[in-house]
């Protein structure tokens, strides 16, 4: 099941009535964020960059990339060929994508919020990162129905372009 299908299932369920607990809405968004967003990028990247290619890129980088990752991330990289991106989480995938320029850089650069008319892959990756950060770092996990629906609608739109 792809990200947009999962998010549609969750957001459709939420439309059955307001008043879902803030915790449920927060947890639902966090699930899409922590498990599904990385899946979108893994799927997108593996189509153009098989794990053997990325592993070769990392090994020929002569230590530069390894200086930017933790020992735990290093272990994941060592098993990349066999795990086929399965063990790669969002932050590590983000580091790989940015360091090796696996997708086009956002129009305004990494870490900057893209304009509405900027829709290359890097722009959408940044847009998804910002959307995710705003959602999961909501104080006290208090998510309004409006913010809940907005998160899923925007996520589905971005996923549709990236996937």
**pLDDT(115) > 90:** yes
> Residue 75: which domain range?
50-88
Distances from the Cα of 55 to the Cα of 25, 46, 50, 138, angstroms: 37, 12, 9, 36
Domain identity same for 45 and 106: yes
Q: What average pLDDT does the chain have?
A: 77
Give pLDDT tens digits for 43-78: 778 778 888 888 889 888 877 888 889 999 989 988
Question: Is there a domain that residue 149 lies in?
Answer: yes
Domain identity same for 67 and 143: no
Question: Is there a domain that residue 146 lies in?
Answer: yes
For residue 100, the model assigns a pLDDT of 92
**pLDDT(135) > 80:** no
Give pLDDT tens digits for 71-107: 999 899 888 888 888 888 888 888 899 999 998 999 9
Cα–Cα dist 90/109, whole Å: 19
Checking phi first, is residue 120 left (phi over 0); if not, alpha (psi -120 to 50) or beta?
A: beta
Domain identity same for 64 and 75: yes
Instruction: Calculate mean pLDDT across residues 9-30.
Output: 53
Question: Is there a domain that residue 94 lies in?
Answer: no
Give pLDDT tens digits for 137-149: 776 666 677 877 7
Number of structural domains the chain divides into? 2
Question: Is there a domain that residue 21 lies in?
Answer: yes
In 3D space, the residue among 145, 133, 142 whose CA is nearest the CA of residue 155 turns out to be: 133
Cα–Cα dist 62/72, whole Å: 19
């Amino acid at each position: 099941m792809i990200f947009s299908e999962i998010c549609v299932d969750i957001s459709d369920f939420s439309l059955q009535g307001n008043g879902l607990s803030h915790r449920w809405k927060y947890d639902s968004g966090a699930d899409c964020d922590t498990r599904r967003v990385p899946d979108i990028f893994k799927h997108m990247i593996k189509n153009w960059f098989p794990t053997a290619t990325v592993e070769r890129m990392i090994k020929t980088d002569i230590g530069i990339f390894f200086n930017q990752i933790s020992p735990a991330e290093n272990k994941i990289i060592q098993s990349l060929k066999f795990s086929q991106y399965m063990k790669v989480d969002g932050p590590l995938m983000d580091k790989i994508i940015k360091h090796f320029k696996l997708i086009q850089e956002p129009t305004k650069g990494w870490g900057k919020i893209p304009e509405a008319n900027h829709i290359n892959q890097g722009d959408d990756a940044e847009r998804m990162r910002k959307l995710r950060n705003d959602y999961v770092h909501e104080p006290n996990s208090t998510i309004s129905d409006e913010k809940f629906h907005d998160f899923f609608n925007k996520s589905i739109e971005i996923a549709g372009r990236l996937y």
